[in-house]
Structure 1
Amino acid sequence: MRHINLIICHCSATRVTRDFSPEALEACHKARGFTTTGYHYYITKDGHLHKCRPEDMIGAHARRYNAHSIGVCYEGGLDANGKPADTRTPAQKQTLITLLRALKADYPDAQILGHRDLPWVCKACPCFDARAEYNHLKPLTLEQ
């Protein structure tokens, strides 16, 4: 089993006015030479969680950090004009919190960061401050 010390939040960098299905995401990643979607999880605008890559498989989402991280991506991240923006729907926000709490239960020592928080990353992804928003997130427990 891989040692996971990071959970990295991403956006698909697609306009809020356009749909970007899990199939389109996979095709985009395959066109870049990946064997499948680089993220482990993808959350569409309707809040549906799509498992893309097994957690025991090294991701392809954050160069230099893939071996010890889980990649989570939400559909969106750009406004109608193509500018970086937090476009998460209420359904995406709820699914993201639930997923991150479940991942924290499995990887209690993992830090939750946005892609932009990693050294050498010069992009706005995930277009919100994931570190601040999820800094005190508690793991999901069986009682909940």
Structure 2
Amino acid sequence: MRKIDKIILHCAATPEGKDYTVAQIDQWHRARGFNGIGYHLVIYRDGSVHPGRSLSKAGAHCTGQNANSIGVCYIGGCASDGKTPKDTRTPAQRTALASLVKDLLRQYPGATVHGHNEFAAKACPSFNVKSWLPTVGIKQ
């Protein structure tokens, strides 16, 4: 079993208001040479949480951090132009993300929560994870 010490939050970098699926992300990642979707969990715009890569396997979502982390991605993260970073989380996604992160922290005590942008020069997940955590009752 992998030792998990980080939960890393991502956005799909897709335009606001548009739905995408795990299967589509899987196709995108395979086209980039991955052996399947790199994220472990994906939150759709309706707040439903869908499995991606098995939690038992290292992800392909954050260079240098994959071995001991879980990658969580929400659909969205860009303005309607598909390029400009924007926090596009729906109310349902916000609720689901908070609940999911709390559940994962219970399963993996001692893990810390991060935005992808803490490890890469990217806007992803298009919101400040460190300032969001206390607003949903998560202390680091």
SS of 1:10's partner is strand
Does residue 79 in structure 1 map to residue 68 in structure 2? no
Does residue 41 in structure 1 map to residue 34 in structure 2? no
SS of 1:42's partner is strand
Q: Aligned AA for 2:115? A: G
Gaps of 5+ in 2: none
The 1-side partners of 2:33 and 2:15 are apart by: 23
Shift of 1:19: 2.3
What is the match of residue 58 of structure 2? 58
The 1-side partners of 2:78 and 2:48 are apart by: 19
What is the match of residue 138 of structure 2? 137
SS of 1:67's partner is coil
Q: Aligned AA for 1:103? A: L
Q: Aligned AA for 1:16? A: E
The 2-side partners of 1:5 and 1:58 are apart by: 12
Q: Which consecutive aligned stretches of 4+ in structure 1 deviate over 2 angstroms post-superposition? A: none
Aligned residues: 136
**Taking structure 2 as the reference length, what is the TM-score of the superposition?**
0.92
- C-alpha RMSD over aligned residues: 1.2
**Taking structure 1 as the reference length, what is the TM-score of the superposition?**
0.90
The 2-side partners of 1:124 and 1:93 are apart by: 18
